[in-house]
Structure 1
Amino acid sequence: MNDGLITVLLVDDQPLLRMGFRLILEGEDDLVVVGEASDGVQALAAVESLDPDVVLMDVRMPLMDGIDATAKISASSSGARVIILTTFDLDEYAFAGLQAGASAFLLKDVAPAELIQAVRLVASGDAVVAPRVTQRLLENFVRNSPPRPALQPDPLLEELTPRELEVAQHIAQGLSNAEIAHALFLSEATVKTHVRRILTKLHVRDRVQVVVYAYETGLVTPSNPDY
């Protein structure tokens, strides 16, 4: 973010949708749309040249879809954070987008105020965008997926202290810092410190990626009555 401005790149193959998002975002003093792209290939070029803070990324596009583009952005040196745009909140593409490194997903018919809030939160690095919806998406996808072989414990989990492991499990539930602090009888400042250390140790960008990681590694499962 430069001078308090959050820069946004719009990626969608529908010009009218891009226009609608532009009108919503540029009505805010702290948000500016720096570019548009109609497919994943253009999106990658735009991210490299414009270095946006946030990318609003459609999934189904020609040449390169939003999932592949998100994965390439996440693997690059760019600091851009991706919000996946999807039609259904339990869409398998939304799950794939989160796996690819997206910080959040939104429905295309999102209310203007929710879109604005999501962009600001993701730009801040917090990425707490409907974490319980994210959790519900992951639980639904895992339940409806073919049975997976028993997972080997991820070596990265061994880097976490017992308290950090507890905090990670609560993050996977979709709890906020305040809710985690209340549940574990900690101060919010202490929780924030734990969250920063968890992100560093697990090599993930934000809280949403902690949720994805927790389900992928079996740290939490839908069959667990506690989660």
Structure 2
Amino acid sequence: MSEPRNRVLLADDHPMMREGLRKLLEPDYEVVGEATDGPALLVAAERLRPDLIITDISMPGIDGIEATRRLRGIVPRARILILSIHTDPTWVRGAFDAGAHGYLSKTSAPEEIETAVREVLKGRFYVSSEVTQALVGTMRELPVERHEGRPEASGEVLTPRELDIVRLVGKGLGNKRIAQTLGVSVTTVRTHLSRVYDKLGPGSRLELALYAAQAGETVM
């Protein structure tokens, strides 16, 4: 007996976009519904209880960011992947602040969309390469120790262990897997992350992933 397929809900006000996504995903996923605007998305999500919601930002009624914020209360277990023409950092940060788990540009190749869907359904964050480039360009450099042992001129330095953890977060690993990879306890990982937050000020794992990208690591 085959395992049940993950249920996906699509939201976009352009019929061709929804049709293209449906054709791309249906071989591996159950596309349970489509919505053409924000209010319809909220109603459909509550009724259908999908595992994954793929939504645009620019939609009539309620935009995708506000819809994402409301969806976190309506279907808290659903994963949310934004697919948008907007790659400006303001939009991306707004989406993740609202509770999104992934962000793709509409210019992303079909293969990247498939990768993003898989990663987000695994419980990881995903940010497309195009979006990452736009975001990283707006961020200050990581205050890491130089090879000769001298810190950067400004900001507190990250220790080698803290930087290791940042890079693993950037690859999408959760605290338990980071602990297993480094041979330390989950409590130790949490302690290091707390210190990183104190030094860098980022408020989410997404921010750490982007810092990792700036340090030369592949994000997601």
Task: Mark yes or no: TM-score above 0.5.
Answer: yes
Q: 1:190 to 1:80 in 2, by over 3 A?
A: farther
Shift of 1:60: 0.6
- Aligned-pair RMSD on alpha carbons? 3.9
- Residue aligned with 1:52, SS: coil
Q: How does 1:145-224 map to 2 (within 5 A)?
A: 169-171=166-168, 174-175=170-171, 177=173, 187-188=180-181, 190=183, 194=186, 209-212=204-207, 214=208
Max radius of gyration: which structure?
Answer: 2
- Residue aligned with 1:89, SS: coil
Letter in 1 for 2:18: R
Q: How does 1:1-227 map to 2 (within 5 A)?
A: 3-26=3-26, 28=27, 30-130=28-128, 135-141=132-138, 169-171=166-168, 174-175=170-171, 177=173, 187-188=180-181, 190=183, 194=186, 209-212=204-207, 214=208
- Residue aligned with 1:41, SS: helix
Q: Gaps (5+ residues) in structure 1?
A: 144-161, 203-208
Q: Gaps (5+ residues) in structure 2?
A: 141-158, 195-203
Identical aligned residues as a percent:
30
Shift of 1:142: 5.0
Partner deviation per Cα, 1:150-207 (whole Å, 9 max, x = no partner): xxxxxxxxxxxx99966653356x2455xxx9xx9x753858x749x85xx99xxxxx
Verify the 8 A CA contact 2:81 2:103 in the aligned structure 1.
yes
Hey, what's the Cα distance between the residues in 2 that align with 1:24 and 1:119? 11
Hey, what's the Cα distance between the residues in 1 that align with 2:216 and 2:112? 29
Letter in 2 for 1:5: R
Q: What is aligned with 1:206?
A: none
Shift of 1:64: 0.3
Partner deviation per Cα, 1:23-65 (whole Å, 9 max, x = no partner): 1111x2x311100001111111111111111111100111100
Which TM-score applies when normalising by structure 1? 0.64
Verify the 8 A CA contact 1:51 1:78 in the aligned structure 2.
no
Which TM-score applies when normalising by structure 2? 0.66
Letter in 2 for 1:116: E
Select between 79-88 and 32-41 the one with higher mean Cα deviation.
79-88
Hey, what's the Cα distance between the residues in 2 that align with 1:169 and 1:176? 10
